[in-house]
Amino acid sequence: MKKLLAAALAVALIQIPFAGNAADAPSLVSTATLGDISLKNVSNAAVTDAVSDDQGVLLGGIGSDLYHDPSDPKDIFYVITDRGPNNDTVQPDKSAGTGFVVPGFSPIIMKVRITGADVEVLETKAITLKNRKGVSGLPNVKGYDAVPTDVKGITSSALYNVAGQDSEGIVRLSNGQYWIVDEYAPSLTNLTSDAVVKRRYVPTNWLGSSTEFSISKSIPEIYLKRKANRGFEALAVTPDERTLFIGLQSPLLNPSSTVGNASLATRILRFDIRSKTFTGEFVFGFEKQSVVDAKSTKASDLKLSALVALDSDTLIVQERTDNSFLLSTIEIENSANILGTKWDLASTTPSLESYTGAGTHAEVEALIALAQKKIIFNSTSIPTMPMKIEGVAVIDSNHIVVVNDNDFNFAYNATTGKVENGSTKSSFLTIKLAVALPTTPEIALAKFGKACLTEGAKSADLTCKANGRDLRWRK
């Protein structure tokens, strides 16, 4: 109890972003932009005859997440699209719908090389089932997911698919396998090196079922209270590849939408890759919306959109609105683990989600404080920052790369019945931080004699030094 009370007092010590000399401010190093690529061509190259008509939409949405393997060259990254091009629709009964412009599309994983202003696509894979049929980006369960329609607002049973993924987070392991998260179930999914679904982890009592892939209903049931289209948004793997951290985009609607939409508390799950079990759950406390975005007037604008594991216990967390974002480091403390506690029960009153800021829920505030959150970057320091940054990767102690989700860069013209492409491109921004990170995945993996990438990097008594033509960790 003393530790919790002391931690609660630490909330006031959260660091505020840079406000010093311009010479010490973060700086933009380079911006690389994805060229125009036919959505139909890239889809059909990955899944035969998946898309008959892409309505003229170009490949986009690749910034749903960004992953950099610390053992890869510094210019290599993995990206993933979400469910595909969609628009807001109005159904005949005047209720809201989500219009699927290219319903045959399945989420795409790409390996890219970023060089200066150029993005080179090295590999492209669609997420598929064992029969090589694409999973699609369609909602899974009628009555649970948001209602899918065509572009004119007409729904049908053909627009549901229990295998569909609204993918938002990706990591790739050294064995070539991928892990992704999605917003529908919400789910965590293990893919083969060819992006074939092996197993999907979903909440207990989720109503979906399938004979085409394995399902494990092992996520706490309370996650069924996720806000529609605000499920899992962020994923990180620890450098030792033993642990995944999974970020819930928005607070659960627990016990109601009114409480959830006002909440400043979302959740991060921990998953052990070897045992295939969830081993932890932690509270992340958002800043007030006005701190993240001066234009925002409501807490429901806030989203947790990206995670990076710097080591086994230190995460970078991105909290954002569509306009701007903050990056913070947090520490994962086992004393703050709420998995299997009263906070996973819908009957708990007041709920964890009733936290709306300092002084509103002492128990939750104390749990948040244990994370020792420190803000390390404010996107407003880069004037040319695109909207909807959703992917973050760490290159070294001083440099990060971020990418935007351009939502496939289109608008549907209801008058003409045609798609109109816009001018927002998928852009990768390399940024130099004002203050060095406390550690990096590369440093966390330091071992005497092992190859390294950042000359001069230090880890305890080891330094990344040239050894002939190679860089190695040396004493």
Residues 468 and 390 in one domain: no
Residues 268 and 412 in one domain: yes
Residues 335 and 426 in one domain: yes
Residues 452 and 367 in one domain: no
Pairing of strands 314-320, 214-219: unpaired
The total number of structural domains that make up the chain: 2
Max CA pair span of the chain:
71
Go through the chain and tell me how many residues it has: 475
Handedness of CA 144, 150, 152, 155 (dihedral sign): negative
- Return d(Cα 441, Cα 439) in angstroms, integer: 7
Handedness of CA 239, 244, 245, 248 (dihedral sign): positive
Q: Which residues pair with 89 in a beta bridge?
A: 97
Residues 78 and 19 in one domain: yes
Residues 458 and 420 in one domain: no
Residues 333 and 425 in one domain: yes
Coil/strand/helix, residue 451: strand
Residues 223 and 240 in one domain: yes
Smallest CA-to-CA distance from 271 within 216, 350, 330, 193 is with 216
Residues 401 and 465 in one domain: no
Residues 452 and 304 in one domain: no
Handedness of CA 86, 87, 93, 94 (dihedral sign): positive
Q: Which residues pair with 129 in a beta bridge?
A: none
Question: Domain range for residue 468?
Answer: 445-475
Residues 466 and 380 in one domain: no
Residues 343 and 468 in one domain: no
Each of the 475 residues of the chain gets a pLDDT tens digit; together they read 434 434 443 433 334 344 444 557 999 999 999 999 999 999 999 999 999 999 999 999 999 999 999 999 999 999 999 999 999 999 999 999 999 999 999 999 999 999 999 999 999 999 999 999 999 999 999 999 999 999 999 999 999 999 999 999 999 999 999 999 999 999 999 999 999 999 999 999 999 999 999 999 999 999 999 999 999 999 999 999 999 999 999 999 999 999 999 999 999 999 999 999 999 999 999 999 999 999 999 999 999 999 999 999 999 999 999 999 999 999 999 999 999 999 999 999 999 999 999 999 999 999 999 999 999 999 999 999 999 999 999 999 999 999 999 999 999 998 898 899 999 999 999 999 999 999 999 999 999 999 999 999 999 999 999 987 799 999 9
